[in-house]
């Protein structure tokens, strides 16, 4: 038997083995296990702030760890830093390329990053007397879909070139390249303990990676289209994904499989973004149909909806203290709800 034939055979055998092991662990699913849990209360949130200032579609937003400042990115070619309590704009960062797809706030609050169709991740220092570009991370061969700072010296990016990269911000060079997806990487989420991260891609798979050794440890299947949004559960033991297949799913890491799907026959718009409430009980998912739906993560039921945008909800974010949820839209506005 040729080597190619042998490897195909071994690959099939391993896939069968993995499926069997997952099935053996599947003694129940999340919704059944949670049947005795009291339903989450009907969640009715009010718009507390509407942040006006961008002149075109908003593509991304990210909270600062101070739970008050946030950064938003729009294809009007700007990053805006907002004080969410007053609703005022604190800073404006003009972008070299207006085709921005992501933005991020460093945990220290000192730096922000952006990137998009320019294939680069640009890092800015907010604390110098005039905002300065400190690094242009230029090695991806596809668009930058997501960026997340680990610290002021390391940042993770995901790209349309199917890779994720860990960068050293002091040298501006790639430290680790995470290779395994076969479709554009669309999103990433850092684990609470910062030792791993998960990525979602257009190959409809979510992958768990070890940040330090660069290896893909687990692959989660189930979605039937691009995964646009991904987030770790606050406990670090599960992940939630949102997809163009109009569903969100929870995958448990230690059980290595999907444990619940959040879907509704009436919902036929793709999921663009998502975030979780502080306990993980509530999932806020933004959709192409201009709404943000609120799901009970344990029981799989829809418990509320945030309606108010006049176009697609493109980004959703809950600050670290869980005090509100922010939605950003192609209608150029950001709304804060609680």
Partner 1 sequence: MSTTNNIAQARKLVEQLRIEAGYERIKVSKAAADLMSYCEQHARSDPLLVGVPTSENPFKDKKPCIIL
Q: Which residues bind partner 1 (CB under 8 A)?
A: 3-4, 7-8, 10-11, 14-15, 17-18, 21-22, 24-30, 33-34, 37, 40-41, 43, 45, 48-49, 68, 84-85, 180, 215-219, 233-235, 237-238, 252, 254-257, 259, 277-282, 297-298, 318, 321-325, 336, 338
Q: Which is nearer to partner 1, 116 or 319 (CB)?
A: 319
Question: Would you say 132 or 217 has its CB closer to partner 1?
Answer: 217
Residue 295: CB minimum distance to partner 1, A: 12
Q: What CA–CA distance (Å, rounded) separates 249 from 238?
A: 10
Q: How far apart are CA 223 and CA 213, in angstroms?
A: 27
Our CA angle for 141, 151, 226, nearest 5°, is 40
Which of 262, 167, 249 is CA-nearest to residue 200? 249
Phi then psi dihedrals of residue 22, to 5 deg: -65, -40
Nearer to partner 1 by C-beta: 48 or 132? 48
**Complex with partner 1: residue 77 or 234, whichever CB lies closer:** 234
Output the CA torsion sign for 209, 193, 206, 237: positive
Determine contact, residues 309/42, Cβ cutoff 8 Å.
Answer: no
For residue 17 the two structure tokens come to 């083995």
Tokens 């499926």 sit on residue: 19
- Kindly state the smallest distance separating residue 173's Cβ from partner 1, in Å: 24
Specify which residues 58 forms β-bridges with.
74
- How many residues in total does the chain contain? 338
- Minimal distance, residue 39 CB to partner 1, in Å: 12
The whole-angstrom separation of Cα 74 and Cα 281 is 30
49/54 with CB nearer partner 1:
49
**Beta carbon nearer to partner 1, 125 or 218:** 218
* Closest CB 158 distance from partner 1, rounded Å: 19
Query: In angstroms, what is the minimal distance from the CB of 214 to partner 1?
Result: 12
Count helices and strands in the chain by DSSP H and E runs: 2, 28
Minimum distance from residue 327 beta carbon to partner 1 (Å): 13
Q: How far is the CB of 138 from partner 1 (least distance, A)?
A: 26
From 198, 163, 160, select the one nearest 178 (Cα to Cα): 163
Could you count the other beta carbons within 10 Å of the beta carbon of residue 169?
22
Torsion region of 117: left, alpha or beta (phi above 0 gives left; psi -120 to 50 gives alpha): alpha
Compute CA 75 distance to the chain's CA centroid, rounded to the nearest angstrom.
19
The smaller minimum CB distance to partner 1, of residues 161 and 244, is found at 161
> Which of 10/136 has CB closer to partner 1?
10
Q: Nearest distance from residue 187's CB to partner 1, in Å?
A: 21
């Amino acid at each position: 038997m040729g080597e190619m034939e042998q490897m195909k055979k071994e690959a099939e055998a391993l896939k069968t083995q993995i499926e069997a092991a997952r099935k053996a662990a599947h003694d129940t699913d999340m919704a059944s296990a949670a049947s005795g849990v009291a339903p989450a209360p009907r969640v009715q949130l009010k718009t507390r702030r509407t942040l006006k200032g961008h002149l075109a579609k908003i593509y991304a937003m990210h909270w600062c760890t101070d739970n008050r400042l946030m950064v938003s990115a729009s294809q009007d070619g700007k990053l805006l830093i907002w004080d969410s309590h007053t609703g005022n704009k604190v800073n404006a960062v003009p972008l070299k390329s207006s085709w921005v797809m992501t933005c991020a706030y460093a945990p220290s609050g000192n730096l922000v990053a952006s990137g998009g169709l320019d294939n680069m991740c640009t890092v800015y220092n907010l604390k110098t007397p005039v905002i300065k570009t400190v690094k242009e991370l230029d090695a991806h061969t596809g668009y930058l879909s997501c960026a997340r700072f680990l610290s002021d010296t390391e940042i993770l990016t995901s790209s349309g070139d199917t890779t994720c990269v860990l960068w050293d911000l002091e040298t501006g060079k790639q430290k680790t390249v995470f290779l395994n997806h076969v479709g554009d990487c669309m999103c990433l989420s850092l684990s609470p303990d910062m030792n791993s991260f998960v990525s979602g891609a257009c190959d409809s798979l979510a992958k768990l990676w070890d940040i330090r050794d660069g290896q893909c440890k687990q692959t989660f299947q189930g979605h039937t289209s691009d995964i646009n949004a991904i987030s770790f559960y606050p406990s670090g033991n599960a992940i939630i994904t949102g997809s163009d297949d109009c569903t969100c799913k929870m995958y448990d890491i230690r059980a290595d499989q999907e444990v619940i799907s959040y879907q509704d026959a009436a919902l036929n718009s793709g999921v663009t973004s998502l975030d979780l409430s502080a306990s993980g009980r509530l999932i806020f998912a933004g959709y192409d149909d201009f709404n943000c739906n609120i799901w009970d993560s344990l029981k799989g039921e829809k418990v509320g909806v945030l309606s108010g945008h006049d176009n697609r909800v493109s980004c959703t974010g809950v600050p670290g203290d869980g005090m509100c949820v922010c939605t950003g839209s192609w209608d150029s506005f950001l709304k804060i709800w609680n």
